[in-house]
Amino acid sequence: MGYLLKKNRSIYIFLILALLVLGSNYTVMVIQPFEPVTDTLILASLFDLTIVLPLFFYLFVVRNRLSIITLLPVVIAGFWFAYFIVPHHDLVIFEYVKYGIFALEGLFIAIELFLAAFLLRKIPTLYKNYKKQKEINYYYPPVMRMAMNKTFGPRKLIYILVYDFSIFYYGFFSWKKKWEDRKHLHSFTIHTNSGYFGLFIMLVHAMVIEVIGVHFLIAHFWSPTAAWIFTALDLYALLWIIADYQAVRLSPIVINDHKLFAQVGIRREIVVDLKTIKSIQPTITDKKERAREKHSFAITLPNFFEEDPQFEIELTESTLANLPFGLKKEMTKLYVTVDDKEAFLQAINRYLEKTKTDRE
């Protein structure tokens, strides 16, 4: 647990430092509070974005796992960010660095092609493992993650890839799918009686307006290239919102004979051994105390009007929850809101009574 917290803290430190580096260089080069922008400032900005930023990435994220595949995108992205924000490219070093970046991009593409060829050879095995995992898991992300781990071996990169795969899977390929109940399973939806659909529609409308408005503003006052970059990021955010709603719709809480499975959109997921459930009761923990808790997992959806979860479930031992990009966190309590709360309460109490009887 301590290792996970330390790792997460390092990532947050890198994000803060990266924002400082990007923001300060953008301010100096575009807003130009220190006019005129001298060649020395341009060289310093190029150094910050192609050397310092990748160095921070290595120290706080990669650390002892030096990998060209990991660092190359940061170097390339840093250079092109510098290239677009500096006021001119008269320095000879820009030409040399640009050709060097082209060479690095060529190397990166070659590595990607090699990996793609490797993946193509593994597709039959991956498909076989995927079908096996579908029989024992109920949601797309864990099914794909376990299938890839079995096919390629445990890799941290797999968690990032599966997260992106999930966005595209739910965003593009799940529109006609419906949840299908299986024998000996109890499933409980969490979205039908909530206001999440209305919130989803509102967010989609807001994002569409933002995509159009921001594109024209940036294109007019800054750069058409920058406008298309921001538009691509906005479209990705819009796809994320759509994918999250589709994942919510297709991912009810599932209880089988031994475990409880829950996935909240594409944001988080958890599997709880029913033997570790100590108690279930209507939520008595107030909002402020819930906000201070560091080891609670909310199986709830955002709404226009925030309400208390219907139930809080205490666990006798901690359970790992999966968060985006391979992050994990130990949980000792669940907060749950479902559409059919009476049936859910009966299902949990039935198991607790059975467990109590077996112990006696």
Q: What is the pLDDT of residue 249?
A: 93
Q: What is the pLDDT of residue 248?
A: 94
CA distance between the termini of the chain: 34
Q: Which of 29, 69, 70, 68 is nearest to 48 (CA)?
A: 29
Q: What is the pLDDT of residue 159?
A: 84
Confidence of residue 4 (pLDDT cuts 50, 70, 90): very low
* SS3 annotation, the chain: CHHHHHHHHHHHHHHHHHHHHHHHHHHHHHHCCCCCCCHHHHHHHHHHHHHHHHHHHHHHHHCCCCCHHHHHHHHHHHHHHHHHHCCCCCCHHHHHHHHHHHHHHHHHHHHHHHHHHHHHHHHHHHHHHHHHHHCCCCCHHHHHHHHHHHHHCCCHHHHHHHHHHHHHHHHHCCCCCCCCCCCCCEEECCCCCCCHHHHHHHHHHHHHHHHHHHHHHHHHHCCHHHHHHHHHHHHHHHHHHHHHHHHHHCCCEEECCCEEEEEECCCEEEEEEHHHEEEEEECCCCHHHHHHCCCEEEECCCCCCCCCCCEEEEEEEEEEEECHHHCEEEEEEEEECCCCHHHHHHHHHHHHHHHHHHHC
Q: How far apart are CA 272 and CA 261, in angstroms?
A: 7
Tell me if 314 sits within 8 A of 293, measured CB to CB: no
What is the residue-averaged pLDDT of the chain?
A: 84
Q: Is the pLDDT score of 66 beyond 80?
A: no
Model pLDDT for residues 95-130, shown as the tens digit of each residue: 777 777 777 777 777 776 787 787 788 889 989 999
Q: How far apart are CA 67 and CA 63, in angstroms?
A: 10
Q: What are the two backbone dihedrals, phi and then psi, of residue 39, each rounded to the nearest 5 degrees?
A: -60, -35
Q: Is the pLDDT score of 359 beyond 70?
A: no
Confidence of residue 64 (pLDDT cuts 50, 70, 90): low
The reply to whether the predicted model has a pTM over 0.85 is no
Q: What is the pLDDT of residue 3?
A: 40
More confident residue, 133 or 65: 133
Q: What is the pLDDT of residue 2?
A: 43
